[in-house]
Structure 1
C-alpha cells in the first residue's frame, strides 16, 4: 500500500578487521526495522520520537541490569531524522530514527535459472560446451 507513513530505524554495527597486521574498526548502518503508523505524518513523527526515547540496541541491552537504563542523547538533524547515542559503561552505539512515506513497492519476481555449466575438468579436456 502506498501513501502510508512509516517509522524507520537504522542501527550502527561495528566489525573488526585486520589487514596487513593493522586492526580496523568497520562501522556501517543497516535497516533494522520499519513500522507502519496509522494516521498522519505528525503521528509518525510522534511515534519516531517515542522510539528514539525508548529503543535499546541489542549490543547495549545485554549489559544492563534489571531495571537499568542506558545513558542517551537524542539529536534532531536538519532533515528531521533523530540521531541517538546510547551508552552503558564502556560500550557505546548509535542509531537513527526517521519518518518516511512509502511511495512505491514491488513484489519479487523470480527469473529462470540458467543451466549449470559443465565441470571445469570436462571443459579443460574439450568435452563440455563452451
Structure 2
C-alpha cells in the first residue's frame, strides 16, 4: 500500500577476512526489518524512537543471556536527515544500527519468469552432444 509510513531498521554486520596473512574486519549495512505504522509521520517517528531505545542487535543479544540482569550500553544520535544512529555496547562487543522513517511511494509485485534451460556439462560439449 503506497502512502503508508514505515519504520526501517538497518543493521551493521561484521565479517572477518584474511588476505595475504593480514586480518580485516569487513562491515556492511543491510535492511533488517520494515514495519508499517498506522497513522501519521509523527506516529512513525515515535515508533522509530522507541525501536532505537529498545532494539538489541543479534551480535550483542546472543551473549546477554549469560549475564542475567545485564543491559547493554546505548548511545542514540539524531542525524541531520532525521535518521537515528544507535551504538550498542556490551563488555567488549559493539554494534551499530540505523532507524529511519520512510514513506512507501511505490511497490511492485514480483513476477516469476521462465527458467532458462540448463547448459550442458563440459563433457557433453566435448563429445559434441551439447551446444558450443
TM-score by length of 2: 0.94
Q: CA offset at residue 32 of structure 1? A: 0.8
SS at match of 1:39: coil
Q: Distance in 2 between matches of 1:6 and 1:102?
A: 7
Of 113, 116, 125, the residue aligned with 2:115 is 113
SS at match of 1:115: coil
SS at match of 2:63: coil
CA deviations on 1:62-115 (whole Å, 9 max, x unpaired) are 232222211110000011000000001111110000000011111111111111
CA deviations on 1:42-78 (whole Å, 9 max, x unpaired) are 0000000011011111111123222221111000001
Residue in structure 2 matched with residue 77 of structure 1 by the alignment: 79
Q: Hey, which bits of structure 1, 4+ residues long, moved more than 3 A?
A: none
Residue in structure 1 matched with residue 92 of structure 2 by the alignment: 90
Q: Distance in 1 between matches of 2:60 and 2:131?
A: 55
Residue in structure 1 matched with residue 41 of structure 2 by the alignment: 41
* Number of positions where the alignment pairs a residue of Structure 1 with one of Structure 2: 130
Residue in structure 2 matched with residue 26 of structure 1 by the alignment: 26
Residue in structure 2 matched with residue 56 of structure 1 by the alignment: 56
Structure 1: gaps of 5 or more residues: none
Residue in structure 2 matched with residue 7 of structure 1 by the alignment: 7
Q: Distance in 2 between matches of 1:67 and 1:84?
A: 21
Structure 2: gaps of 5 or more residues: none
Residue in structure 1 matched with residue 104 of structure 2 by the alignment: 102
| Deviates further, 52-61 or 117-126 | 117-126
